Structure 1
Amino acid sequence: MADAITPHFHNTDGVDTIFIGVKEFMCIGARPPQDHPHVFLDMGDESEMVCPYCSTLYRYSADLTATQTRPDGMLIGM
């Protein structure tokens, strides 16, 4: 079993950048049924990463928790 729960984010609204409070996460693209393959992304030491499927730029923001996003509402589940 995994030691931590991985948050899943979506970009149904098609924004360019989503600020998140974690560095390991899943991108699903848009909400189902328009989702792309669910891909695990790990920023490592970096502070941003682009999803290879939907080109959403994710930026780490230390002031956000694992369930918060900017813009709001981009978390689909854990």
Structure 2
Amino acid sequence: MKLSANAPCPCHSGEKYKRCCFPYHKGMLPSDALKLMRSRYCAYALDLPHYIIATTHRANIDYTEETAAWKE
């Protein structure tokens, strides 16, 4: 899904995407757990599997090294 930078962020923060989750999707680290989880939800809504993979801890039961299969 393509989203305008000025559209409301899919994480429901009330902020525009460009000022909310977009910086995290481009590489900035979230400063707390709430921002991390909002940005992961937003990545799911926008079909950004690379971000979800990058922010999943290796100890998580759902983690796998097979990223190609995971993206599916």
- TM-score, normalising length from structure 1? 0.24
Larger radius of gyration between Structure 1 and Structure 2? 2
Larger strand fraction of residues: 1
Larger helix fraction of residues: 2
- Greater relative contact order, per chain length (Cα 8 Å cut-off, separation 6+): 1
